[in-house]
Amino acid sequence: MFTTQKNDRKERERYARQRARRLLGEAKPAHGWGLNQLLAAYKVGQVLNALGAPRWWDLEIHEIDLLFPWDEDAVDMIADDMRRNGYGENCPPIVLFESKVLDGKLRLEAARRAQVTPRFEIFDGEAEAALEYAIRLNGRRQNFTERQRTAILVEMGVR
């Protein structure tokens, strides 16, 4: 039987909701949380986490971030630093837009290689604002004319 990713996700969500309801029904903390109730609540959390966004190491790169060049040497340097220092406060968060990496593909790959968990932020805005944001952050490496920006937006289906 042919299934799409959308159908697979709906099926997983339905299963997770059913399991969460069953496990919550087992919890019933009428007189405080006992060991069984805490275990049931933990299981509910695991199920709900499985429903959420993809694991960070499986995130896709947004089309906007693909506009900017890949720098293997930079990834190696960042990964080495992360191995020594972890994902430090001086390392900016990886920015997600539409559940994909809008900014930080090099940091994401470095974190994968260094086996450290990065920090994330969600970009809250429209595609045009996301493009402007990414261009502003990466402007030192890539200068786009207004015509190029418009062409990118048209290609993305925004204009």
- All structural domains of the chain with their residue ranges: 5-51, 56-156
Span 90-136, pLDDT tens digits: 889 999 999 899 999 999 999 999 999 899 999 999 988 998 898 88
Residue 38 near residue 23, CB atoms below 8 Å = no
pLDDT, averaged in runs of 10, over the chain (159 residues): 52 69 60 64 62 72 88 95 91 92 94 92 91 79 68 70
The number of C-alpha atoms within 13 Å of 42 and in the hemisphere containing its C-beta is 7
Please give the model's pTM, rounded to 2 decimal places: 0.60
| Residues forming beta bridges with residue 32, ordered by sequence position | 30
What pLDDT, on a 0 to 100 scale, did the predictor assign at position 2? 39
pLDDT score recorded for residue 15: 73
What is the token pair recorded at 118?
Answer: 């990065």
Both tokens of 63, joined, read 């089309």
